[in-house]
Amino acid sequence: MKIFVSQHDDIRIGGLVQALKSVVPTTFYWSKKDKPLFDLIEEEEPTIIFYHDGDAADSTIEYAQAEYPGIKFVYMQFLPTLSKAKPSLTLAMDPSLVIDGSLPIDYRTNLIEMEGGVKQGMFTTEVLILTDQVDARIDFHLLTLRALGYQFQTKMYGNNKVNLPNYLGRLRKESYRHALASARVLVAFDSSRYYDACYHNCIPLVFKEKKTTELGAYEFSSLSGLLEKCKVAIEAVNPELSHHASEYTYHHYLIDIFRLLQEETIVDALIQYLEQRKVVAS
């Protein structure tokens, strides 16, 4: 079996691919710019192809589905589409695109990246901020960073450089797990690392303009509310969040995906992977 996944910078796709590789080593990234779809099919004979909006912009996917009915196509949909292709399964990457038969995909724990995270002195801090989520054009973001840096021990890492003394540069990919394991609180402007933080019992506080029930107590909508929640989180006994996070992983999403694709061999391999690591399997 060969599985190909169209390249995309969304970390959910990266999480799904890493999880899939753990049980199906013959999983590969693919880009139509490097290899046209029909060349890929003729040369590699894939069993399953995951594609996204950029691949559905023309009729190539439709023609391929008609000519190769034995291949299962999975559409990772970020945007509304006029494509007439009929995939085996649609993954709704935006909640507004969920329809009957599609599977919504949110951020989950990336076990491959997060396993093995340990507290390290160089990363130890009360508050951790990953600046990839920070937009320097938004005054609230910068005000929040300054206030956190003033009131708490705060360390900031990421690809977006922030002109503050707490910013310590970029993190290597393998260092994210250690940074999360070494922090008391993760303050974030989106929920992309919410479950990764929980996996290491790092308390996530996520900005939400409107209160939701999804994150509940782990939300903030104002600076004063954030500062108060940070103080409580830092002083409180560390909650057991890791079990909660282990119920929501990209491996669990893959179990749902491959059950819908009727690929039970892969489902069994995923469940076995989770059971070996004492993670709750679906």
The phi, psi pair for 90, rounded to 5°, reads -110, 130
Tell me: the pLDDT tens digits for 20-53? 999 999 999 999 999 999 999 999 999 999 999 9
Q: Are 51 and 61 in contact (CB under 8 A)?
A: yes
**Cα gap 156→123, rounded to integer Å:** 10
Q: Are 5 and 13 in contact (CB under 8 A)?
A: yes
Number of domains into which the chain is organized: 2
> Residue 91 belongs to a domain with what CATH number?
3.40.50.2300
Give how far Cα 250 sits from Cα of 42, 58, 245, Å: 30, 29, 11
Q: Is the same domain home to 183 and 270?
A: no
**Cα gap 207→140, rounded to integer Å:** 11
**Cα gap 30→251, rounded to integer Å:** 21
- The share of the chain scoring above pLDDT 70, in percent, equals 96
Query: Do the domain assignments include residue 51?
Result: yes
Band (239; pLDDT cuts 50, 70, 90): confident
Q: Is the same domain home to 60 and 121?
A: no
Residue 210 confidence (pLDDT) above 80: no
> In terms of residue numbers, what domain contains 224?
113-243
Considering 26-35, 130-139, 212-221, the range whose residues carry the highest mean pLDDT is 26-35
- Residue 94's nearest CA partner among 109, 107, 82 is 107
Q: Is the same domain home to 74 and 140?
A: no
Query: Do the domain assignments include residue 281?
Result: no
Tokens 């002083």 sit on residue: 235
Residue 176 confidence (pLDDT) above 80: yes
pLDDT for residue 243 = 82
Query: Do the domain assignments include residue 206?
Result: yes
> Residue 169 belongs to a domain with what CATH number?
3.40.50.2000
Query: Do the domain assignments include residue 282?
Result: no
Q: Is the same domain home to 223 and 129?
A: yes
Query: Do the domain assignments include residue 263?
Result: yes
Q: Is the same domain home to 74 and 176?
A: no
